Amino acid sequence: MYTLDFMTLPGWIALISAFLVVGQLIISLVFGGLDVDTDADGFGDFDMSTIASPKGVIHFLCGASWYLVLVQPVRAAREWMYYDWLIAIGVGLITAFLLALLYYGLSKLACEKEKEKGEDLVGRRGYVYLNNGNGNYDVNISVSGASTIIQVTSENKNTSLKEGDNVVIKSYSDGIYFID
């Protein structure tokens, strides 16, 4: 059975970086949207600069230092060989890269659809929900996958449409949707 020695520089770095990584994970789980905005656009999202961010550096240090802590007991005289330092750098880079890929995958899962509006709804079919008179209607259509009621106006002031009649949005101008 080997004992781990944390009274070395890599040992201290391993403990501190593990504390920071686990602490950040707990904060993210408890507070949800609290995350580092690496590109300063106002949204806590992911891009490739995340690898070179403070979070990426912490992941690198965590991987590299934990490799050195775990390999030290199996070395003769408990001293690292020169190639242990090279392997530690490789392990740190791989750790930072894999965690960046994990963040990237998770950010794709959280990607929300942008709500359709304006010209996006032209050509969309719906049915008359309510006749408001004077050629104005409330129409039930599908917007971004959800059933939504919007106000439309008949281009030719058709007042004969009844509830349940199928209509198609023909155009959009100045915030008004038009049907036939």
Count how many Cα atoms sit within 13 Å of the Cα of residue 35 in the half-sphere of its side chain: 18
Run of H or E residues at 168: strand 166-168
Q: Where are the alpha helices (DSSP H) in 110-151?
A: none
Report the DSSP pairing between strands 176-179 and 171-173: antiparallel
Q: By three-state DSSP, how is residue 140 classified?
A: strand
Where along the chain do the CATH 2.40.50.140 domains lie?
118-179
Q: Please give the Cα distance from 163 to 29 (Å, whole number).
A: 47
pLDDT in tens, the chain (180 residues): 577 778 888 889 889 988 988 887 787 767 765 455 444 554 555 555 666 678 888 888 889 888 888 888 777 777 878 888 899 999 999 988 888 888 777 777 765 667 777 777 888 888 888 888 888 888 888 887 778 888 888 888 888 888 888 888 888 888 888 887
CATH 2.40.50.140 corresponds to the domain 118-179: yes
